[in-house]
């Protein structure tokens, strides 16, 4: 069945997919992921999350064996909507999630990675949506997030052929932020999370609210929201501390207020 290991390192939470051998995303594993997100959101000190897979893969996709236990079209639709709901929740978190991808992120595994905000991949990683090779289609919003990240023509190619791409091509397309070695992928992801966690949480939360306006082509609304947030954030204790620290040429001591 698998589980999601949750560990807290000061202000950074790490979530590890533990579902050998391929870290398949069963409905039970998705439920466990949702429960871990509940825990993290109750923990006010968390400012960033690193998501990784245990063993050979980040995640090789949904649990195909589970599909055989479903009967009606409505059952498959419910499974799709359940996964979409959890991945939407990740994308809409007020703190960033960094995916540390090794081995493979395929099918549901790539859909999960695409719901994260930053993606770090190993040089040997493979990324793709191979569902059409099984006679099915992506069900966890892959047809929607992939075009946003790589453009519509490339998304058509990747989905319709089902062929995975290399980490190098994924980087060139903007699907991943950085490429690193197998040994360093978690450390790189954790380093990014730690740099983020050194910031004031209210400012992190505001950025997580504002950037999606650009993704949804709501520029005019986004800039107005930015101006409003800019004014509001300056009333915070952290803003006053940050400005004063800059003037005094010292490191700020943020208290997340």
How far is it, in rounded angstroms, from Cα 116 to Cα 59?
Answer: 14
Indicate the burial class of 219 (C-beta count within 10 angstroms; 0-12, 13-18, 19 or more).
exposed
How far is it, in rounded angstroms, from Cα 113 to Cα 106?
Answer: 9
Structure token pair of residue 55: 């063993």
Radius of gyration of the chain (CA): 19
Spot the catalytic one: 72, 131, 182, 237: 131
Alpha-carbon dihedral angle through residues 38, 42, 44, 46, given to the nearest 10 degrees: -30
Spot the catalytic one: 72, 111, 157, 232: 111
CA-to-CA separations, 100 to 38, 55, 103, in angstroms, rounded: 21, 13, 10
Verify whether residue 91 is a known catalytic residue.
Answer: no
Verify whether residue 111 is a known catalytic residue.
Answer: yes
How far is it, in rounded angstroms, from Cα 34 to Cα 246?
Answer: 39
The residues carrying an active-site annotation are: 111, 131
């Amino acid at each position: 069945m698998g589980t999601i290991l949750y560990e807290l390192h000061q202000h950074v939470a790490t979530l590890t997919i533990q579902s050998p051998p391929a870290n398949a995303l069963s409905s039970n594993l998705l439920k466990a992921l949702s429960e871990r997100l509940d825990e993290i959101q109750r923990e006010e000190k968390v400012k960033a999350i690193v998501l990784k897979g245990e063993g050979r893969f980040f995640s090789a996709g949904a649990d195909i064996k589970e599909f055989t236990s479903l009967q009606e079209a409505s059952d498959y639709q419910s499974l799709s909507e359940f996964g979409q709901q959890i991945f939407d929740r990740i994308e809409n978190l007020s703190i960033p999630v960094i995916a540390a991808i090794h081995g493979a992120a395929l099918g549901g595994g790539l859909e999960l990675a695409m719901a994260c905000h930053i993606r770090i991949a190993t040089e040997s990683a493979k990324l793709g949506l191979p569902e059409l090779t099984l006679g099915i289609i992506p069900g966890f919003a892959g047809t929607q997030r992939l075009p946003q990240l790589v453009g519509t023509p490339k998304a058509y190619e990747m989905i319709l052929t089902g062929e995975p791409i290399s980490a190098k091509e994924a980087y060139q397309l903007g699907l991943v932020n950085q490429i690193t070695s197998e040994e360093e992928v978690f450390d790189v992801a954790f380093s990014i999370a730690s740099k983020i966690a050194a910031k004031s949480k209210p400012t992190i939360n505001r950025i997580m609210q504002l950037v999606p306006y650009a993704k949804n082509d709501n520029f005019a609304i986004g800039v107005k929201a930015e101006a409003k947030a800019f004014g509001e954030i300056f009333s915070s204790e952290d803003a006053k501390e940050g400005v004063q620290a800059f003037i005094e040429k010292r490191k700020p001591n943020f208290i997340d207020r």
